[in-house]
Structure 1
Amino acid sequence: MKARVQWVENVKFVAESGSGHALVVDGPPEHGGRNIGPRPMEMILMGLGSCSNFDVVSILKKSRQDIFGCDVAIESERAETEPKVFTKIHLRFTVTGRNLKESVVQRAIDLSMEKYCSASIMLGRAGVEIRHSFEIVELNTN
Protein backbone atom coordinates (compact mmCIF):
# COMPACT_ATOMS: atom_id res chain seq x y z
CA MET A 1 0.00 0.00 0.00
CA LYS A 2 1.03 3.52 -0.68
CA ALA A 3 -0.40 6.97 -0.08
CA ARG A 4 0.60 10.55 -0.69
CA VAL A 5 -0.25 13.64 1.34
CA GLN A 6 0.38 17.05 -0.21
CA TRP A 7 0.33 20.29 1.72
CA VAL A 8 -2.01 22.84 0.12
CA GLU A 9 -2.02 25.82 2.51
CA ASN A 10 -2.15 26.63 6.22
CA VAL A 11 -3.23 23.28 7.77
CA LYS A 12 -5.02 21.94 4.68
CA PHE A 13 -3.72 18.86 2.91
CA VAL A 14 -4.89 16.59 0.10
CA ALA A 15 -4.42 12.92 0.90
CA GLU A 16 -4.42 10.47 -2.01
CA SER A 17 -4.54 6.73 -1.65
CA GLY A 18 -2.48 4.38 -3.77
CA SER A 19 -5.74 3.34 -5.45
CA GLY A 20 -6.27 6.91 -6.65
CA HIS A 21 -8.88 8.23 -4.22
CA ALA A 22 -8.38 11.66 -2.69
CA LEU A 23 -9.80 13.67 0.17
CA VAL A 24 -9.12 16.96 1.90
CA VAL A 25 -7.73 16.94 5.44
CA ASP A 26 -8.04 20.19 7.36
CA GLY A 27 -7.92 21.68 10.82
CA PRO A 28 -10.19 23.99 12.79
CA PRO A 29 -10.00 27.78 12.37
CA GLU A 30 -8.20 28.18 15.71
CA HIS A 31 -5.29 26.22 14.20
CA GLY A 32 -5.31 28.03 10.86
CA GLY A 33 -7.73 25.74 9.04
CA ARG A 34 -11.04 26.32 7.32
CA ASN A 35 -12.72 23.19 8.69
CA ILE A 36 -13.33 21.73 5.21
CA GLY A 37 -12.18 18.18 5.90
CA PRO A 38 -11.72 15.64 8.65
CA ARG A 39 -8.85 15.84 11.12
CA PRO A 40 -6.10 13.22 10.89
CA MET A 41 -7.18 11.52 14.13
CA GLU A 42 -10.78 11.42 12.92
CA MET A 43 -9.53 9.61 9.83
CA ILE A 44 -7.98 6.96 12.06
CA LEU A 45 -11.36 6.39 13.73
CA MET A 46 -13.11 6.31 10.34
CA GLY A 47 -10.54 3.80 9.10
CA LEU A 48 -11.09 1.61 12.15
CA GLY A 49 -14.86 1.75 11.73
CA SER A 50 -14.65 1.02 8.01
CA CYS A 51 -12.22 -1.85 8.49
CA SER A 52 -14.30 -3.54 11.17
CA ASN A 53 -17.63 -2.90 9.43
CA PHE A 54 -16.23 -4.38 6.20
CA ASP A 55 -15.35 -7.57 8.09
CA VAL A 56 -18.64 -7.80 10.00
CA VAL A 57 -20.77 -7.42 6.86
CA SER A 58 -18.64 -9.94 4.98
CA ILE A 59 -18.79 -12.52 7.80
CA LEU A 60 -22.54 -12.09 8.26
CA LYS A 61 -23.17 -12.52 4.53
CA LYS A 62 -21.00 -15.66 4.46
CA SER A 63 -22.96 -16.90 7.49
CA ARG A 64 -26.15 -16.50 5.41
CA GLN A 65 -27.62 -13.89 7.71
CA ASP A 66 -30.37 -11.74 6.14
CA ILE A 67 -28.54 -8.46 6.77
CA PHE A 68 -29.80 -5.13 5.42
CA GLY A 69 -27.59 -2.68 7.27
CA CYS A 70 -24.62 -2.38 9.57
CA ASP A 71 -23.63 0.92 11.14
CA VAL A 72 -20.91 1.51 13.67
CA ALA A 73 -20.77 4.55 15.96
CA ILE A 74 -17.33 5.18 17.39
CA GLU A 75 -16.44 7.15 20.51
CA SER A 76 -12.94 7.69 21.77
CA GLU A 77 -10.89 9.20 24.53
CA ARG A 78 -7.46 10.71 24.03
CA ALA A 79 -4.56 11.46 26.31
CA GLU A 80 -4.69 14.98 27.74
CA THR A 81 -1.03 15.71 27.03
CA GLU A 82 1.06 15.46 23.88
CA PRO A 83 1.14 13.18 22.10
CA LYS A 84 -2.65 13.04 22.39
CA VAL A 85 -2.96 9.41 21.43
CA PHE A 86 -6.15 7.41 21.71
CA THR A 87 -6.46 5.73 25.09
CA LYS A 88 -9.94 4.21 24.72
CA ILE A 89 -12.18 3.48 21.77
CA HIS A 90 -15.69 2.05 21.86
CA LEU A 91 -17.42 0.75 18.73
CA ARG A 92 -21.20 0.34 18.88
CA PHE A 93 -22.54 -1.75 15.99
CA THR A 94 -26.17 -1.56 14.91
CA VAL A 95 -27.00 -4.50 12.67
CA THR A 96 -30.30 -4.46 10.82
CA GLY A 97 -31.91 -7.47 9.20
CA ARG A 98 -34.39 -10.30 9.41
CA ASN A 99 -34.08 -13.27 11.78
CA LEU A 100 -30.51 -12.35 12.71
CA LYS A 101 -28.96 -14.71 15.22
CA GLU A 102 -27.41 -12.85 18.13
CA SER A 103 -24.63 -15.44 18.53
CA VAL A 104 -23.66 -15.11 14.84
CA VAL A 105 -23.58 -11.31 15.04
CA GLN A 106 -21.46 -11.48 18.22
CA ARG A 107 -19.08 -13.95 16.58
CA ALA A 108 -18.73 -11.78 13.44
CA ILE A 109 -17.83 -8.73 15.51
CA ASP A 110 -15.44 -10.69 17.75
CA LEU A 111 -13.68 -12.19 14.71
CA SER A 112 -13.31 -8.78 13.14
CA MET A 113 -11.94 -7.10 16.25
CA GLU A 114 -9.64 -9.95 17.31
CA LYS A 115 -8.51 -11.59 14.06
CA TYR A 116 -9.28 -9.73 10.82
CA CYS A 117 -9.40 -5.96 11.33
CA SER A 118 -5.82 -4.80 10.95
CA ALA A 119 -6.66 -1.36 12.32
CA SER A 120 -8.21 -2.77 15.51
CA ILE A 121 -5.34 -5.14 16.11
CA MET A 122 -2.71 -2.47 15.41
CA LEU A 123 -4.33 0.04 17.79
CA GLY A 124 -4.83 -2.63 20.45
CA ARG A 125 -1.17 -3.62 20.27
CA ALA A 126 -0.27 0.05 20.71
CA GLY A 127 -2.07 0.01 24.06
CA VAL A 128 -5.46 1.45 23.11
CA GLU A 129 -8.30 -0.09 25.11
CA ILE A 130 -10.82 -1.11 22.44
CA ARG A 131 -14.31 -2.22 23.43
CA HIS A 132 -17.31 -3.07 21.33
CA SER A 133 -21.01 -3.70 21.72
CA PHE A 134 -23.92 -4.22 19.39
CA GLU A 135 -27.64 -4.11 18.97
CA ILE A 136 -29.82 -5.90 16.46
CA VAL A 137 -32.69 -4.11 14.77
CA GLU A 138 -35.18 -6.66 13.51
CA LEU A 139 -37.02 -5.76 10.32
CA ASN A 140 -40.64 -6.76 9.96
CA THR A 141 -41.16 -9.85 7.85
CA ASN A 142 -44.28 -8.36 6.24
Structure 2
Amino acid sequence: MAVKVTTKWLGDMRFESTNPSGHNLFIDAGEDNGGKGEGYRPKALMLSGLAGCSGLDVAALIKKMKLNVADFKIEIEANLTEEHPKHYDKVAMHFHFYGDDLNEKKLQRAVDLSVDKYCGVMEMFRQFSELDIKTHFHNTKVDFFPVQ
Protein backbone atom coordinates (compact mmCIF):
# COMPACT_ATOMS: atom_id res chain seq x y z
CA MET A 1 0.00 0.00 0.00
CA ALA A 2 1.49 3.32 -1.05
CA VAL A 3 1.19 6.35 1.20
CA LYS A 4 1.55 9.84 -0.21
CA VAL A 5 2.52 12.95 1.72
CA THR A 6 3.16 16.29 0.02
CA THR A 7 5.22 18.92 1.79
CA LYS A 8 5.23 22.45 0.35
CA TRP A 9 7.73 25.18 1.16
CA LEU A 10 6.03 28.32 2.50
CA GLY A 11 9.16 30.47 2.58
CA ASP A 12 11.93 30.92 5.11
CA MET A 13 12.14 27.64 7.06
CA ARG A 14 8.40 26.89 7.10
CA PHE A 15 6.60 24.02 5.34
CA GLU A 16 3.04 22.71 5.16
CA SER A 17 2.67 18.96 4.94
CA THR A 18 -0.46 17.10 3.87
CA ASN A 19 -1.44 13.79 5.38
CA PRO A 20 -3.45 10.91 3.88
CA SER A 21 -6.14 11.61 6.51
CA GLY A 22 -6.70 15.04 4.97
CA HIS A 23 -5.19 16.98 7.85
CA ASN A 24 -2.27 19.35 7.40
CA LEU A 25 0.53 20.24 9.74
CA PHE A 26 3.20 22.90 9.72
CA ILE A 27 6.92 22.30 10.08
CA ASP A 28 9.32 25.08 11.02
CA ALA A 29 12.78 25.48 12.46
CA GLY A 30 13.38 27.26 15.73
CA GLU A 31 14.63 30.85 15.80
CA ASP A 32 18.16 29.62 16.49
CA ASN A 33 18.07 27.83 13.10
CA GLY A 34 16.52 30.58 11.00
CA GLY A 35 12.86 29.75 11.58
CA LYS A 36 10.10 31.38 13.58
CA GLY A 37 9.07 28.34 15.62
CA GLU A 38 5.63 28.26 13.98
CA GLY A 39 5.42 24.52 13.51
CA TYR A 40 6.59 21.10 14.53
CA ARG A 41 10.27 20.22 14.48
CA PRO A 42 10.83 17.18 12.25
CA LYS A 43 12.74 15.05 14.74
CA ALA A 44 10.27 15.76 17.57
CA LEU A 45 7.47 14.91 15.15
CA MET A 46 9.04 11.45 14.80
CA LEU A 47 8.70 10.98 18.57
CA SER A 48 5.07 12.08 18.41
CA GLY A 49 4.56 9.55 15.62
CA LEU A 50 6.06 6.82 17.80
CA ALA A 51 3.84 7.72 20.76
CA GLY A 52 0.79 8.03 18.53
CA CYS A 53 1.36 4.69 16.82
CA SER A 54 1.78 2.79 20.06
CA GLY A 55 -0.95 4.81 21.78
CA LEU A 56 -3.48 3.88 19.11
CA ASP A 57 -2.57 0.21 19.52
CA VAL A 58 -2.93 0.35 23.29
CA ALA A 59 -6.21 2.31 23.13
CA ALA A 60 -7.67 -0.29 20.74
CA LEU A 61 -6.55 -3.10 23.04
CA ILE A 62 -8.00 -1.36 26.11
CA LYS A 63 -11.33 -1.25 24.30
CA LYS A 64 -11.07 -4.84 23.03
CA MET A 65 -10.09 -6.18 26.48
CA LYS A 66 -12.80 -4.01 28.12
CA LEU A 67 -10.32 -2.60 30.62
CA ASN A 68 -11.19 0.13 33.08
CA VAL A 69 -8.70 2.96 32.50
CA ALA A 70 -9.49 6.54 33.47
CA ASP A 71 -6.57 7.97 31.48
CA PHE A 72 -3.20 7.17 30.05
CA LYS A 73 -0.29 9.06 28.60
CA ILE A 74 3.00 8.28 26.95
CA GLU A 75 6.12 10.27 27.76
CA ILE A 76 9.17 10.00 25.54
CA GLU A 77 12.65 11.29 26.17
CA ALA A 78 15.26 10.80 23.45
CA ASN A 79 18.97 11.42 23.12
CA LEU A 80 20.05 13.22 19.95
CA THR A 81 23.55 12.46 18.71
CA GLU A 82 26.03 15.34 18.41
CA GLU A 83 27.42 14.45 14.99
CA HIS A 84 25.67 14.83 11.64
CA PRO A 85 23.41 13.36 10.57
CA LYS A 86 21.98 13.90 14.05
CA HIS A 87 19.58 11.16 15.03
CA TYR A 88 18.05 9.58 18.12
CA ASP A 89 20.32 6.83 19.39
CA LYS A 90 18.49 6.23 22.70
CA VAL A 91 14.76 6.52 23.31
CA ALA A 92 13.03 6.08 26.69
CA MET A 93 9.28 5.55 26.40
CA HIS A 94 7.11 5.55 29.53
CA PHE A 95 3.47 4.47 29.53
CA HIS A 96 1.45 5.89 32.44
CA PHE A 97 -1.98 4.42 33.26
CA TYR A 98 -4.41 6.02 35.70
CA GLY A 99 -7.53 4.55 37.26
CA ASP A 100 -9.27 3.15 40.33
CA ASP A 101 -9.32 -0.46 39.12
CA LEU A 102 -6.35 -1.04 36.81
CA ASN A 103 -5.75 -4.56 35.57
CA GLU A 104 -1.97 -4.24 35.49
CA LYS A 105 -1.36 -7.64 33.92
CA LYS A 106 -3.68 -7.00 30.96
CA LEU A 107 -2.46 -3.43 30.50
CA GLN A 108 1.12 -4.65 30.43
CA ARG A 109 0.05 -7.23 27.83
CA ALA A 110 -1.46 -4.41 25.72
CA VAL A 111 1.79 -2.44 25.89
CA ASP A 112 3.84 -5.55 25.07
CA LEU A 113 1.66 -6.35 22.04
CA SER A 114 2.10 -2.84 20.70
CA VAL A 115 5.84 -2.78 21.33
CA ASP A 116 6.60 -6.28 20.07
CA LYS A 117 3.99 -6.90 17.39
CA TYR A 118 1.76 -4.09 16.15
CA CYS A 119 3.51 -0.70 16.13
CA GLY A 120 5.32 -0.26 12.82
CA VAL A 121 6.88 3.02 13.91
CA MET A 122 8.42 1.15 16.84
CA GLU A 123 9.96 -1.30 14.39
CA MET A 124 11.42 1.58 12.38
CA PHE A 125 12.93 3.10 15.54
CA ARG A 126 14.55 -0.24 16.38
CA GLN A 127 16.68 0.16 13.25
CA PHE A 128 18.58 3.14 14.66
CA SER A 129 17.79 3.50 18.37
CA GLU A 130 18.19 1.69 21.63
CA LEU A 131 14.69 1.55 23.17
CA ASP A 132 13.91 1.53 26.89
CA ILE A 133 10.20 0.98 27.53
CA LYS A 134 8.60 1.10 30.96
CA THR A 135 5.02 0.91 32.21
CA HIS A 136 3.74 2.78 35.27
CA PHE A 137 0.42 2.27 37.05
CA HIS A 138 -1.16 5.05 39.09
CA ASN A 139 -4.08 4.15 41.35
CA THR A 140 -6.23 7.26 41.45
CA LYS A 141 -8.48 5.98 44.22
CA VAL A 142 -7.89 8.07 47.30
CA ASP A 143 -8.35 6.30 50.60
CA PHE A 144 -8.45 8.57 53.61
CA PHE A 145 -10.31 9.02 56.81
CA PRO A 146 -11.65 12.50 57.54
CA VAL A 147 -10.43 14.12 60.72
CA GLN A 148 -13.22 14.55 63.25
Shorter chain as denominator, the TM-score bin is over 0.9
CA-to-aligned-CA distance 1:18-72 (integer Å, 9 cap, x gap): 2210011100112110011110001100000011111111112211211121100
Q: Which residue is 1:90 aligned to?
A: 92
TM, length-normalised to structure 2: 0.89
Q: In the alignment, is the contact (CA less than 8 A) between 1:74 and 1:89 conserved in 2?
A: yes
Structure 1 residue 141: deviation in Å? 8.7
Which structure's CA Rg is the greater one?
Answer: 2
Count of residue correspondences? 141
Q: Which residue is 1:12 aligned to?
A: 14
Following the alignment from structure 1 to structure 2, what is the Cα–Cα distance between the partners of residues 132 and 56? 14
Structure with the bigger percentage of strand: 1
Following the alignment from structure 1 to structure 2, what is the Cα–Cα distance between the partners of residues 102 and 7? 46
Following the alignment from structure 1 to structure 2, what is the Cα–Cα distance between the partners of residues 127 and 14? 27
Following the alignment from structure 2 to structure 1, what is the Cα–Cα distance between the partners of residues 53 and 70? 18
Q: In the alignment, is the contact (CA less than 8 A) between 1:4 and 1:18 conserved in 2?
A: no
Give the unaligned 5+ runs of structure 2. 144-148
Give the unaligned 5+ runs of structure 1. none
Q: In the alignment, is the contact (CA less than 8 A) between 1:28 and 1:34 conserved in 2?
A: yes
Following the alignment from structure 2 to structure 1, what is the Cα–Cα distance between the partners of residues 21 and 111? 27
Following the alignment from structure 1 to structure 2, what is the Cα–Cα distance between the partners of residues 58 and 67? 12
TM, length-normalised to structure 1: 0.93
Q: Does 1:26 align with 2:33?
A: no
